[in-house]
Structure 1
Amino acid sequence: MGDIRIGTCSWTDKALVSSGWYPAGRRDAEGRLRHYASQFPVVEVDATYYGLPSTRNSLLWADRTPEDFRFDVKAFSLLTGHPTPPSAMPADLRPVLTRHRGRTEADPGLLDEVWARFGAALEPLRGAGRLGTVLFQFPPQLAPGRPAAAFLRRCRERAAGWPMAVEFRHPGWWREDHIAATTALLTELDAAAVAVDMVQTLPASVPPVAPVTSSQFAVVRFHGRNSAWGTGTKEERFRHSYTREELSEWIPRIRAMAEQAREVHVLFNNCCADASVRAAQSMRQLLAPPGRPATEAEDAHGAG
């Protein structure tokens, strides 16, 4: 049985910080991370999607967490084909992106440099054994087909040696007629498929399938089941308090994933107030061995 690690998709989200979840005296940058890491064994870093990570932050994160803690780091938007404003780039690279109107194919050297800086900034985490997966969340425009598969292969070549996880936002990748092909592609790339929980009543809804495509990692991300997905503010899109019944639907799937992967990361992205940490705590209790309630100490070493 693999190690099941449960956490949230941010420890710095403004709604969580203002919710009162962090105790007095632990609300500065260092205190928040140390407190979070005393409660959960894994966290996702989403800030790296909006701007390149820094070596300094990686060193600080490694220093402030236990040896068995894991950071799942979200890939920078430019690396996954998302529109990236010049303001998100390092100052010395902004003129190049502006000159080519955001089209990196017009200057391949720019993309090479961004990939290199992203990887170098994560080296302290990897060297300290804190790096979990690098999460490549691809945009809804990336529909299944040969061009998309070729793009994924190029990403994998650039990310050689990294623990890669892939989340698709186009639902076609996981519809019944394409599950086998998607599973085969990610298995070929040794990239962990990210299973998604979200509302299932919208055209953009990604089916909640959970194939295991890497023996090292499997990932589940809980986005909430709000029908405002894709519209409104971030809080409106992700506002959802999971019930125990909703979480229980995933227990057999998560346990099955843990039979095939060394680590399963279960991450909650319903980031409104403390909803994500409450859901993570509920999931920890549901996954605890029968007759033995989960404790914070147990959670620090996973639930599996």
Structure 2
Amino acid sequence: MRVYIGCGGYSNDDWTAPGLIYEGVRKDDYLATYAQHFDAAELNSSFYAIPGLKAFAGMARRSGGRVRFTVKLHRVFTHDRAPTDADFDRMLQSPEPLREAGVMGPYLAQFPFSFHRTPANRRYLGQLTERFAGHELAVEMRHEGWDLPEVREGMAERGLIWVSPDYPPAGGLPEPQLHVTGDVGYLRLHGRNAGSWWEGQSAAERHDYRYSRAEMDEWAQKIALAAPDLSELYVLFENTTKGHALHNIPQLREALNAHGVPVQTPDPGPEQGRLL
């Protein structure tokens, strides 16, 4: 199993704080710097506006082919749920430079908590699946009503990747387990800040959480158990606030290696130093 580890987004301005990886780095050089430390990135900006071909080509170039990109679907597909043919065309065609460079990972459909398991929503998911046929599509369900074995069996039959999330114990959310619906796995670590998950005014507040070493070891154990069933696993840390993810990723790498899951750690070079 090849494990790709990275963060939700790479344009994190709070990583310019002293001692973090963007200290003294120009914004235009963020991605090149990021690529020296991580081999995966979740593109969140596409949720708000789908980048064009040139933008994706620039990502492939600046990352030097060292980063696998997962691309979040625009909100019109998951929140508004009224995509046009033009939306599908742009979402499917724009990342072509990533495919050509061999660095395209799955698409990510992040549905909101309000997307309950109803007949209408199940039909919509089926229609979305058909339009993305031939592409890897990872689906994150935030309402616990989807967290059922029969749902994952149906996703496996349709070639969908179940996104295994680590949420706070805030009620109504899927359990923090690693489930496999194909040979590619997808794990999103949101942090466990239960106090701000529902009341937080921003994503930064909701993800303001630093995992302990014990919690990273817990996930390493789960990954080791699932390893025989997977060829690839994407692990994306969403707790980028205040650089929490920068502390947790080395801990997870160490824990995975200790549990017999080899992890490729990018070599930043002598001038860049360690991640922290």
- Regarding TM over 0.5, the answer is yes
Deviation per CA, 1:254-284, whole angstroms, max 9, x where unpaired? 1233221211011110121111121112111
| Separation in structure 1 between the aligned mates of residue 136 and residue 172 of structure 2, nearest angstrom | 27
Q: Which amino acid aligns with 1:194?
A: V
Partner of 2:124: 151
Q: What's the secondary structure of 2:198's corresponding residue?
A: coil
| Separation in structure 2 between the aligned mates of residue 139 and residue 173 of structure 1, nearest angstrom | 12
Give the drift of 1:18: 4.5
CA contact (8 A) 2:17 2:23 kept: no
| Separation in structure 2 between the aligned mates of residue 213 and residue 132 of structure 1, nearest angstrom | 16
1:203 is aligned, of 158, 168, 171, to 171
Higher relative contact order (CA 8 A, sep 6+): 1
The answer on 1:79 being equivalent to 2:77 is yes
Q: What's the secondary structure of 2:242's corresponding residue?
A: coil
CA contact (8 A) 1:7 1:277 kept: no
1:220 is aligned, of 175, 187, 195, to 187
1:69 is aligned, of 59, 67, 70, to 67
| Separation in structure 1 between the aligned mates of residue 216 and residue 268 of structure 2, nearest angstrom | 17
CA contact (8 A) 1:42 1:69 kept: yes
CA contact (8 A) 1:284 1:299 kept: no
Partner of 2:272: none
Q: What's the secondary structure of 2:36's corresponding residue?
A: helix
* 1:177-196 superposed matches below 5 A: 179-196=148-165
Deviation per CA, 1:130-156, whole angstroms, max 9, x where unpaired? 111100011212212432221111111
CA contact (8 A) 1:196 1:209 kept: yes
Q: Which amino acid aligns with 1:27?
A: R
When residues 150 and 168 of structure 1 are mapped into structure 2, their CA distance, relative to the original with a 3 A threshold, is: same
Give the drift of 1:66: 3.7
Partner of 2:41: 43
Q: Which amino acid aligns with 1:144?
A: R
Deviation per CA, 1:230-276, whole angstroms, max 9, x where unpaired? 22222221110110011111112112332212110111101211111
Give the drift of 1:26: 3.3
Per the normalisation by structure 2, the TM-score is 0.88
| Separation in structure 2 between the aligned mates of residue 267 and residue 199 of structure 1, nearest angstrom | 16
Q: Which amino acid aligns with 1:48?
A: S
Partner of 2:12: 13
| Separation in structure 2 between the aligned mates of residue 214 and residue 242 of structure 1, nearest angstrom | 28
Q: Which amino acid aligns with 1:183?
A: R
Partner of 1:230: 198
Partner of 1:139: 112
Per the normalisation by structure 1, the TM-score is 0.81
Give the drift of 1:160: 1.5
Q: Which amino acid aligns with 1:141?
A: S
The answer on 1:275 being equivalent to 2:244 is yes
CA contact (8 A) 1:15 1:274 kept: yes
Cα RMSD of the aligned pairs, angstroms, is 2.4
Q: Which has the larger radius of gyration?
A: 1
Q: Which amino acid aligns with 1:79?
A: F
When residues 158 and 241 of structure 1 are mapped into structure 2, their CA distance, relative to the original with a 3 A threshold, is: same
Partner of 2:27: 28
Give the drift of 1:294: 7.0
* 1:94-173 superposed matches below 5 A: 104=82, 111-173=84-146
When residues 289 and 245 of structure 1 are mapped into structure 2, their CA distance, relative to the original with a 3 A threshold, is: closer
Q: Tell me, which stretches of 5 or more residues in structure 2 are unaligned?
A: 270-276
CA contact (8 A) 1:193 1:210 kept: no
Q: Tell me, which stretches of 5 or more residues in structure 1 are unaligned?
A: 84-102, 105-109
Give the drift of 1:289: 4.5
CA contact (8 A) 2:200 2:206 kept: yes
Deviation per CA, 1:177-225, whole angstroms, max 9, x where unpaired? xx2211111102211111111111x22332112221122x101111011
| Separation in structure 2 between the aligned mates of residue 163 and residue 293 of structure 1, nearest angstrom | 24
When residues 182 and 231 of structure 1 are mapped into structure 2, their CA distance, relative to the original with a 3 A threshold, is: same
CA contact (8 A) 2:37 2:267 kept: no
Give the drift of 1:45: 0.6
Give the drift of 1:127: 1.7
Q: What's the secondary structure of 2:94's corresponding residue?
A: helix
Instruction: Count residues in correspondence.
Output: 267
Q: Which amino acid aligns with 1:65?
A: S
